[in-house]
Amino acid sequence: MVETDSRRWWALGLIASAQFMVIMDTSIIGVALPEMQKDLGFSPGGLSWVFNAYVIALGGLLLLGGRLSDLFGARRLFAAGWVITLGGSVVAALAATTWAELLGRVLQGAGAALIAPSALTLLMVLFGSRPRELTKALALYGAAAPAGGTAGVFLGGVITEWLSWPWIFWLYVPISLVAILATGRVMPTVSARRGSVDVLGAATVTAGLAVTVFAVVRAPQVGWGAFETLGPLVGGLVLLALFVVLQRVRQESLVRLGIFHTPNLGGANLAQFLLGAAWIPMWYFLNLYLQQVLGYGAFASGAALLPMTVLIVVLMVAVAPKLIAKLGSKTMIIGGLWALAAGLLWLSLARPTGTFVVDVLPASLVAALGQALAFIPSLGTAISSARPEEGGLAAGIVNTAYQVGSALGLAAMTAVGLSFGADRHDDPVVLTDGFSAAFLGASGIALAGGFLAMVTLRADKRTAEAPAEAAATR
C-alpha cells in the first residue's frame, strides 16, 4: 500500500491523468481527420473508423481488462495498459496505410481497456477505507473526463495546424513513458488472485460487444435494414447470449453473474450507460453546430466548450460530494439525468441564425449541471457495491456500460440526425433541424434514464458516503 498522504494523492493524480488521456484519445483526432484522409487515402465512409476502431476495441475488451486486473494485480495491468498504448501510438504515428492506422487505433483502445478498470481498482484500494476522501477522489476522477474531451479538441487543432497529424500520436509516447515509470513509484501493490482466465467467455463477450457496436456504428452509413447492419447485429447478440450461457455453467467464469444481484449495482450501471448514450451525442452535435452553423473554427469551438467543462469540474469536485451527503445517491442520479434532459431539450431549440450566448451557453450549462450531478454517485455506487475482491470486475463493468452506451447512443443519434438533414451542409435551416432532432433524441434517453433510476435504485437510508463505508467494512 501507499504509506503517506502525499504518495496517495500523487497516485490519484496519475489515475485521473489516465482517465483524462483515455477520453482525450476519443476527441483529439477529430480536427485531424481531413489531413489523415488526404495522406492515407481513407474513403469518406472509412474515415470514421479512425474513431470507431478505438471505441470498439475499448468497449469490447473492458470486461476482460477488469478480470485480468483482479487476477494479476491492478498495478501490473495498469502499467501493461500504458505499454500497449505506447506501442499503438507509435504504430499510428508511423502509419503509411489505412490498415496500419486502424491497427494503431485498435492497440490504443486495447491499452485503454486495461488502464481504465485497473485505475478504478487502484483508486478504491487507495481511498476505499477513507469514506470521506473516497467521494472527493471519485469527483476528481470523474472531472478528468470532460476536461480530457475539451483538451483533445484544443490540442488536436493546435497540433494539426502548427505541426502535422502524426504528432497527435507522438504526444502519447512521452506521456506513456512517464506513466509507466511513475506507476512503480506511487501506485499501491495489489495482490493477485488465484484463478484462470475464461478464454472462451472472454472471446465471446469481446467479439459480441465489438460486433454489436460495429453494426450500430455502421448503420447510419449503410442503413438500419441493410444486411450489413442486421447480419453483424444478430451475430453480436447471439455471441452475447452465448456468453451469458457460458457464465452460468463455467466454474471459473469471466463474470460472476451473481454480481448483478448486488443491490443498486445494476441500476447504477444502467444510469452510467444512459449517461454516456445522452452526453456523448450532445458533445458531438454541439461541436458540429458551433462549426457548421455558427461558423466557428476548430479552436474557437473548443473554447466555446470551456464554460461547460469548467462548470462540470467545479461541480464534481466542490459541490457534488456535499450534495450527495445531503440528498443521497439515488436523488442525485435522478435529478442529474433529468437536468441533462432539460439542457438537451433546450439545445434542440437552437436556431440556424443563433448565437453562442443565446442558443448554446445557457442550455449547455444546464446539461453540464446534470452530467456533473449524476456521474459521481452512479460511478461510486457501481464500484463500491461489489465485493472488494471483484473491484476490477466492477470497474470493467461500469466502464463498459459507459463506453458502450456512448458508442451506441452516438450511432443511434447520428442516424436520427441524418434522417432529419444533419448532412445538408448547403442548407443551414435543414442542417440545424437535423442537429435539433439528435439533441431531442438524446434528451429522451436522459429523461428515460431518470425514470429507470427511480425503479432500479434503492432509496438511500444513509448519506452519500454509505457505499464507501460499506466497501471499507467488508
Which ranges of the chain have pLDDT less than 50?
1-3, 461-474
Three-class SS of 211-263: HHHHHHHHHHHHCCCCHHHHHHHHHHHHHHHHHHHHHHHCCCCCCCHHHHHCC
The whole model's pTM is what? 0.78
Q: What is the grid cell recorded at 95? A: 502509419
| Cα distance between residue 436 and residue 344, in whole Å | 9
Residue with cell 431531442: 440
Tens digit of each residue's pLDDT (9 = 90 or more) over 259-270: 777 778 888 999
The number of beta carbons lying within 10 Å of the beta carbon of residue 196 is 8
Whether 1-196 and 259-474 share one fold: the answer is: yes
Per-residue confidence (pLDDT) for residue 274, from 0 to 100 = 95
Per-residue confidence (pLDDT) for residue 304, from 0 to 100 = 83
| Fold of the CATH domain 1-196 | Growth Hormone; Chain: A; (1.20.1250)
CATH number given to 259-474: 1.20.1250.20
| 361: enclosing H helix or E strand | helix 361-384
Amino acid at 371: Q
Domain borders along the chain are 1-196, 198-253, 259-474
Coil, strand or helix: which one is 115? Answer: helix
Contacts of 412 (CB under 8 A, 6+ apart): 216, 277, 281, 441
The number of beta carbons lying within 10 Å of the beta carbon of residue 425 is 12
Per-residue confidence (pLDDT) for residue 398, from 0 to 100 = 81
Half-sphere exposure of 418 (CA within 13 A, CB side): 13
Per-residue confidence (pLDDT) for residue 473, from 0 to 100 = 38
Task: Return the axis-axis angle of helices 131-162 and 320-327, rounded to nearest 10°.
Answer: 140
Per-residue confidence (pLDDT) for residue 142, from 0 to 100 = 74
Tens digit of each residue's pLDDT (9 = 90 or more) over 139-186: 787 777 777 777 777 777 777 767 888 998 998 899 999 999 988 888
Question: 313-342: b or e for each residue (b if 16 or more CB lie within 10 Å)?
Answer: bebbbeebbebbeebbbbbbbbbbbbbbbb
Amino acid at 78: F
Contacts of 163 (CB under 8 A, 6+ apart): none
- CA distances to 55, 246, 302, 433 from 309, in Å: 22, 42, 10, 26
